[in-house]
Structure formats: structure tokens, C-alpha cells
A and B are shown apart, each in its own frame.
Chain A
Amino acid sequence: MKVKDIVHLLDLTVYSGEQGLDREVTGGYVSDLLSDVMGRADTGQLWVTLQTHKNVMAIASLKDLSAVLLVNKQKPDANTAEQSNEEGIPILGTTMGAFEVTGKLYELIR
């Protein structure tokens, strides 16, 4: 499943990194501790978080994640969105909380 399919099925907002919407999503990871994501997330996963700092994109890029999904109406900081555009890794958004959106994601990509 591609990032754009998930955007469509879950009615997500695309904040930045549109050129990466064709990336393949191989799984998911949910965490707000960036140190934890750095250690445990895997290539191709979609990362669910409420953190919006620029370091989010540095780690998404380092781990070659497929996209970042911000929950609870969080929006990326300006320089975070900028880096997402440079890296081509989309930042998505939802009004749902992490529990709800993760449940739906799990059904889609397990």
C-alpha cells in the first residue's frame, strides 16, 4: 500500500513532501520519543506521533520511513515541513488521536 492510498482511505491532510506520496508503506511505528524511534523504527514504516520539531524529519530520513503522521490536529513546524519537502518524505495530519488512527492503520496494512 502506498502513502497516497492511506491518505485517501483515512482522509488525512498532506502538509508537505507531496512528491513522496508514492512511497510504499511496509508497516507502522507509534512513539513520541525520538530516541526510541531512532533505535526501533524500520525502513518503510509510517510513523505516528504528536512531535512536530525539525528533528522528526532528520530521524524519518535517517530511518528511511515512508511518512510521518501527526495526530490530534498537530501541524509541523515551518522548518520541519521545509525539510519534509527537501527529503520527499510526506508529513500527514489527522484530527484523530494516536489510538484511533493506529487502529485503523493496523487494519489497512497489517
Chain B
Amino acid sequence: MNRYRADLHVHTVLSPCGDLAMSPSKIIEVAAHKGIDILGITDHNSTKHGSLVKKMAEKEGIFVLRGAEVTTREEIHCLAFFESDEQLDVFQKYLDTFLGDIWNIPEKFGYQVVVDEEEVIVEHVDKLLVSAIHQSINEVEKQVHQLGGLFIPAHIDRPFHSLISQLGFVPEDLNADALELSRHSTREDILRRFPGLKSFAFIQSSDAHHLAQMGTRTTIFEIERPCFEEIRMALAGEKGRKVHLE
């Protein structure tokens, strides 16, 4: 098995709260500099930058896991990752269908732009991407898994927008591939509060909105090679694949 460093929760300029310097090329440059082998691109309620970053990152030998950070109806943030273009397209349509009609005010919330390889803006997204979609956490989980994706409640230790802040505790029947910790906590901390969670795989990520935050927390994957299926197996603890926090 080989060892890969992953930061699976990174925003781009597409997220209104993402710094304007978070362009695909800058993100890749910083990821390469910080020794990140696997990068998760997770904008709020949008998958639209994943494929560009993936394509550009391949030249640097960085594997990109494409997905989004979904805000459920309960205002819980959850990471969702997909393997194929088709799965991403279907999930993007799902997000478009259920995102509410709340419009972004760029001066207040920040710009929501999709760029191309040369950093030319190709789309301004009008709807406020940080608002909640009209789907419950259970509905989002079902949709992600029906499409063959990975479902990971984000920064569960945080006092807002987390599974624990919104629902009090992790529902026992929740079908999550892993739970994510923010940079403010440790696995030991969360297990002290919730001993029942020790059967879950954990990841820890930076949730970077600025370049300087990237890689401040990482997860180590012990897998054959960086690809979606190997990452899935590591989270499930299958065939000797492992995941642990750095």
C-alpha cells in the first residue's frame, strides 16, 4: 500500500465565502507546494469547479475528488463525492432543483463565479449557494448513495452548520461513509463526547476558504493508488485499505 495525504474539503472562488484568490490554478499550486496528493473540491451546493480542477491537477500528479458541500434543509453541511461525469451531472441537476430562490448579493456574501483554465469568468451563479436546499439529510444521503457517491457529514464538531449542532447527536441509522472533523477538534475529543461514534471512519480537512488554510488538516489514505474506488475502500476499511488522521 502507498500513503497519500488528502485535504478533502476545499472551496474555490465559486463559493461566495471563498477568497477570490481561490482559483483552480492557485489551489493546485498551493496543494503541490504543501504536499497534498488528494484534493477534495467542495463548493457550497455546487459541483461546477470540480472537473476543471481535476483536469488541471492531473498535470501536477494531484488526484481530485469531485463533489460539493451540501447544505441540507436542517442546515447541516455534508460532503458528497462522485466518480463519473454522469453522476456529477445528475447531482448538479438535483442541487439546481432543490436550491431555494434566494439570490446572492455579491457585495454582502461574495462573488460566485465559475472560471475557465485561463481564469476568465464564464458564469456568475445568481442563487445564493450557501442557502439550504429543500431536502433533508436523509434525502440527500439517499440521493448520493443511489448515484454511487460518498456521503460524509462535514465538520461534525462545529457549533453551527454541523450534524451535531443541528440534530444534537449523530442519528444511529445514519448511513455515512465517514464523518469529518474540523480543524478545531480531534478524534479523541469527539469520541470522549460521543463514544458511540468509534465505528465510523473519520477524515479531517481544512475547509479552506483561503489559500493559506489549505492543508492545515489532512487525512492519510493507505491505498494502492489515488482513485475514487480505492478511497471508498479505505473509508470502508476493505481489503487492507486504511484511513487515519494525520
Please list the residues of chain A having a beta carbon within 8 angstroms of any beta carbon in chain B. 32-35, 37-38, 51-55, 58-59, 77
- One of B137, B138, B168, B171 near A35 (C-beta < 8 A): B168
Give min CB distance, B189 to chain A, whole Å: 15
- One of A52, A58, A77 near B168 (C-beta < 8 A): A58
Give min CB distance, B28 to chain A, whole Å: 37
Q: Which of B159, B164, B166, B168 has the most CB of A within 10 A?
A: B168
CA A72 – CA B138 in complex, angstroms? 21
CA A28 – CA B159 in complex, angstroms? 23
CA A53 – CA B74 in complex, angstroms? 8
- One of A35, A52, A53 near B159 (C-beta < 8 A): A35
Instruction: Find chain A residues with CB under 8 A from B182 CB.
Output: none
Give min CB distance, A51 to chain B, whole Å: 6
Instruction: Find chain B residues with CB under 8 A from A58 CB.
Output: 168-169
Q: Which of B164-215 contact A (CB under 8 A)?
A: 164-169, 171
Instruction: Find chain B residues with CB under 8 A from A35 CB.
Output: 159, 164-168
Q: Is there contact, CB below 8 Å, between A55 and B138?
A: no
**For the complex, is B136 an interface residue (Cβ under 8 Å from A)?**
yes
Instruction: Find chain A residues with CB under 8 A from B167 CB.
Output: 34-35, 51, 53, 55
CA A51 – CA B138 in complex, angstroms? 13
Q: Is there contact, CB below 8 Å, between A51 and B74?
A: yes
Give min CB distance, A39 to chain B, whole Å: 9
Question: Contacts A35-B159, A35-B164 given: A55-B136 contact, CB under 8 Å?
Answer: no
Instruction: Find chain A residues with CB under 8 A from B137 CB.
Output: 53
Q: Is there contact, CB below 8 Å, between B171 and A51?
A: no
Q: Is there contact, CB below 8 Å, between A33 and B165?
A: yes
Instruction: Find chain B residues with CB under 8 A from A54 CB.
Output: 171
Instruction: Find chain A residues with CB under 8 A from B169 CB.
Output: 34, 38, 55, 58
Q: Is there contact, CB below 8 Å, between B171 and A34?
A: no
Q: A51-B167, A53-B137 are in contact. List 12 more A-B contacts (CB 8 A).
A: A33-B160, A33-B165, A34-B166, A34-B169, A35-B164, A35-B166, A37-B168, A38-B169, A51-B74, A51-B166, A53-B136, A59-B168
Give min CB distance, A33 to chain B, whole Å: 6
CA A34 – CA B165 in complex, angstroms? 6
